[in-house]
Copies of this chain bind each other. A is one copy, B any other.
């Protein structure tokens, strides 16, 4: 796939299916293109000589000077058109026509053919089932939506075409400018990753916005988005179908197979996508990311003329990752010298209700000088002595002398409109509700952190991959795809500590194994047909050496009683884990249809199973990602010495997460895996039990 320059800014556009017929899509697209596009427009229609006085050609192969074809013909003809495009060297195509993957098996078949043709000719194909493409610098509206946005630095992709029409209608009244807009449709060929990649390198795109219902190729998306974000272009997205209720609607909408919300949460976070919960947040974030620099610290100074709104702003800061700036002594002194008696010279700085513009100006200048202050919000209530427009001018002037981001809340109705326009022109957002401005500053800070985070490759541990493969291949010999404690050596092959022990198949061997282990032992039945060993009395803890032989017999007969035909591999004789000194954790993995291997961490027992206190990452997991998993769970204090326990060795837990990440990345055949428990102690970790499922076809 080449650059998308010719998709968004082609020298000429062919409209395949152009017509003057009232109410048709072909007519709307022609009208939109003829209205302002600075390139060539060629209508393709074998039944017309001209369309709106433009000479028509019979086939796209006859269209000259054209780099983009917009296709609006019926679905059964589309693939023929695409072949013609390929043959005649048109690489960029937007298929507006619907009736493909979203419309039953026949449509799905057409869409498969479409993919094959696109692959053959290396087409940059948008859609099908979309509203088209917009580019403001060339004035190109290659959609059937009548509204054309003003030019700006935001590029926007949406999986809902209707949402684009709504946003364009709304944005035209908001002074919100766009560069490229693309309707993703069914994403038969190009998807969100392609556009994120292109806009990441596009000097004219400052912010990438997305409305997404699902994400294709999750791991590749993460990689691309991470790169784009760390190189300075923020990506903000609403991922819709978030909640269970929403996901079912998404599935019936475009036939998208929605990944689980947990996977998206992890994946988007790792990708560095700033997630907006709704439409308002999406554009609030876009506005401030486009207009303001990123902050150096998370500390915010509030400058206000009113106590109440100062408190509200402080609340909003408390709800975010931001903090109230701790103004330094010099700042406080200067404020004391400059402000009248009664003013609050600590944060929130209250310049009092009788403050004219210049008092705001002075306070703003002083707090902007404070190195602790990462960002500033000016919150002003209307008073008899305050002129919002003059205040806006003062804020703009202050912003020109600083790299500290500024937001405003001029708390008025239309009386604030002119001032908001002045601020908007230099990229300073202003809303009635100060919480919106603070939310925006929070997004800026998040972006600053994402840029700082950069890209950290996962650690490559020295492991015995061949040994692991041979252990996984044991499943070939059985009907069942799951492995249990008999696969403990898989962990050993990947350098994860396991208790001393052995799997034996006679009482004598059991005694021998137990004697080689210090102290009492744990004995467990080993059978692929018995998943819940404890439930059938298949586990005995604290067995002294002289009872090992009898216990062996008991375990075998319990297993036989439970399941006469069970394939019994033997009995595991294992060193006792020092559970009292340790904390049970779980490290697990599930394979998500979109994002692939999703690694889980949490505390064992009730914590994951009842309280659902667990955290997820898409593998491969880097060291800092694994570290943050430990920070994220609510029960983390239990690992860190709460209630008089000794803190566990967190480093070993973090390393185990990474080693499991490496294992499941190396072997796509592992579909599910649970180490439960992984006992963590002050001295290290020990994986006491394992269960995993393998897809033999992937081996």
Residues of A participating in the B interface, judged by any CB pair closer than 8 Å: 23, 28, 144, 146-147, 158-163, 165-166, 169-174, 211, 213, 238, 240-246, 248-250, 252-254, 277-280, 305-312, 314-319, 323-324, 344, 346, 348, 353, 381-385, 411-416, 432-436, 605-606, 609-611, 634-635, 637-638, 642-643
Distance of A669 from chain B, by nearest CB (Å): 32
Distance of A418 from chain B, by nearest CB (Å): 13
Let me know if B315 and A643 touch, CB within 8 A.
no
The distance in angstroms between the C-alpha atoms of A635 and B169, with both chains bound, is 48
Let me know if A384 and B278 touch, CB within 8 A.
no
Let me know if B315 and A245 touch, CB within 8 A.
yes
Let me know if A311 and B250 touch, CB within 8 A.
yes
- Residue in B279, B316, B344 whose CB lies within 8 Å of A433: B279
The distance in angstroms between the C-alpha atoms of A170 and B161, with both chains bound, is 34
The copy count of this chain in the complex is 2
- Residue in B163, B434, B609, B638 whose CB lies within 8 Å of A306: B163
Q: Please name 20 pairs of A and B residues whose Cβ atoms are closer than 8 Å in the assembled complex, sorted by A.
A: A162-B308, A163-B309, A166-B411, A213-B308, A238-B312, A240-B308, A240-B312, A242-B318, A243-B318, A244-B318, A245-B317, A246-B312, A246-B315, A249-B314, A253-B310, A254-B307, A277-B319, A606-B643, A610-B643, A611-B634
The distance in angstroms between the C-alpha atoms of A174 and B348, with both chains bound, is 29
Let me know if A433 and B278 touch, CB within 8 A.
yes
The distance in angstroms between the C-alpha atoms of A339 and B464, with both chains bound, is 62
Let me know if B307 and A146 touch, CB within 8 A.
no
Let me know if A314 and B170 touch, CB within 8 A.
no
Let me know if A309 and B166 touch, CB within 8 A.
yes
- Residue in B165, B319, B348 whose CB lies within 8 Å of A381: B165
Question: Residue on B with the closest CB to A254?
Answer: B307
- Residue in B381, B432, B634 whose CB lies within 8 Å of A162: B381
A384 proximity list for chain B (CB < 8 A): 23, 28, 144, 146
Query: A249 with B310: in contact, given A241-B315, A278-B316 (CB under 8 Å)?
Result: yes
The distance in angstroms between the C-alpha atoms of A416 and B319, with both chains bound, is 33
Identify 20 new A-B residue pairs, CB closer than 8 A, beyond the known A169-B413, A213-B311, A253-B308: A23-B384, A23-B385, A160-B306, A160-B309, A162-B305, A165-B381, A165-B382, A170-B412, A171-B413, A238-B312, A240-B311, A241-B311, A241-B314, A242-B315, A245-B315, A246-B311, A246-B318, A279-B434, A606-B635, A611-B635
A413 proximity list for chain B (CB < 8 A): 169-174
The distance in angstroms between the C-alpha atoms of A248 and B317, with both chains bound, is 13
Question: Residue on B with the closest CB to A211?
Answer: B308
A435 proximity list for chain B (CB < 8 A): 277-280
The distance in angstroms between the C-alpha atoms of A317 and B278, with both chains bound, is 12
The distance in angstroms between the C-alpha atoms of A411 and B165, with both chains bound, is 9
Let me know if A162 and B610 touch, CB within 8 A.
no
A252 proximity list for chain B (CB < 8 A): 344, 346
Let me know if B318 and A245 touch, CB within 8 A.
yes
Question: Residue on B with the closest CB to A245?
Answer: B318
- Residue in B166, B250, B317 whose CB lies within 8 Å of A412: B166
- Residue in B166, B309, B411 whose CB lies within 8 Å of A170: B411
A250 proximity list for chain B (CB < 8 A): 311
The distance in angstroms between the C-alpha atoms of A163 and B158, with both chains bound, is 38
Distance of A23 from chain B, by nearest CB (Å): 7
Let me know if A306 and B162 touch, CB within 8 A.
yes
Let me know if B611 and A243 touch, CB within 8 A.
no
Question: Residue on B with the closest CB to A171?
Answer: B413
Let me know if A162 and B353 touch, CB within 8 A.
yes
Residue in A241, A254, A381 with the greatest tally of chain B CB atoms within 10 Å:
A381
The distance in angstroms between the C-alpha atoms of A172 and B309, with both chains bound, is 19
A242 proximity list for chain B (CB < 8 A): 315, 318-319
Let me know if B637 and A414 touch, CB within 8 A.
no
A610 proximity list for chain B (CB < 8 A): 635, 637-638, 642-643
The distance in angstroms between the C-alpha atoms of A318 and B146, with both chains bound, is 33
A309 proximity list for chain B (CB < 8 A): 160, 162-163, 166
Distance of A681 from chain B, by nearest CB (Å): 18
Query: A314 with B245: in contact, given A169-B382, A308-B162, A637-B610 (CB under 8 Å)?
Result: yes
The distance in angstroms between the C-alpha atoms of A642 and B612, with both chains bound, is 13
A253 proximity list for chain B (CB < 8 A): 307-308, 310-311
- Residue in B169, B174, B319, B381 whose CB lies within 8 Å of A166: B381
A353 proximity list for chain B (CB < 8 A): 161-162
Distance of A34 from chain B, by nearest CB (Å): 17
Residue in A159, A160, A213, A308 with the greatest tally of chain B CB atoms within 10 Å:
A308
Let me know if B382 and A166 touch, CB within 8 A.
yes
A611 proximity list for chain B (CB < 8 A): 611, 634-635
The distance in angstroms between the C-alpha atoms of A165 and B642, with both chains bound, is 50
The distance in angstroms between the C-alpha atoms of A238 and B346, with both chains bound, is 24
The distance in angstroms between the C-alpha atoms of A165 and B85, with both chains bound, is 63
A23 proximity list for chain B (CB < 8 A): 384-385
Question: Residue on B with the closest CB to A319?
Answer: B243
A144 proximity list for chain B (CB < 8 A): 384
- Residue in B241, B244, B308 whose CB lies within 8 Å of A163: B308
Residue in A171, A242, A413, A611 with the greatest tally of chain B CB atoms within 10 Å:
A413
